[in-house]
Amino acid sequence: MKAKVFTLFLAISVVLVGCGGNKESENKSTGGQTSAANGEEVYQQNCTGCHGKDLAGGSAPSLKEVGGKYDENDIKDIVVNGRGNMPGGLVKEDQAEAIAKWLAEKK
């Protein structure tokens, strides 16, 4: 029973994370382009449902020191393609680059 509840919770979390954030404000502030400078903003809009606002994790692993484990290219690959229970394609490629650049600094 616990496994079914956890699976349901995880599925709902993935759907909510996939919904993303307010794309209108993103388009206004950057003209539709996502810069590395706002990788944290993209993370807050798309990743906190599983990884937590403070990177501490939740239903997904902590990312507080992810830059010490993976380089920027590895992080981007995980964001784009997914890994384990994390599905790929939750953000656009330029957003994945911004997130990866920001997370690679977390050591």
Statement: residue 67 has pLDDT above 90: yes
Statement: residue 6 has pLDDT above 70: no
Cα angle, residue 95 at apex, residues 89 and 100 outer, rounded to 5°: 95
pTM for the full model? Answer: 0.67
Q: What is the pLDDT of residues 16-62, one digit of tens each?
A: 665 554 444 444 444 555 555 599 999 999 999 999 999 999 999 99
Assigned token pair, 29? 């502030």
Helix (H) or strand (E) segment spanning residue 1: none
Q: Which domains does the chain have, with CATH numbers?
A: 2-104 (1.10.760.10)
pLDDT computed for residue 12 by the predictor: 72
> Higher-confidence residue: 29 or 103?
103
Q: What is the pLDDT of residues 69-94, one digit of tens each?
A: 999 999 999 999 999 999 999 999 99
Write the CB contacts of 59 (distance below 8 Å, at least 6 apart in sequence). Answer: 9, 10, 13, 49, 50
Mean pLDDT of 3-22: 60
Q: Whose structure tokens read 């990177």? A: 55
Return d(Cα 54, Cα 68) in angstroms, integer. Answer: 17
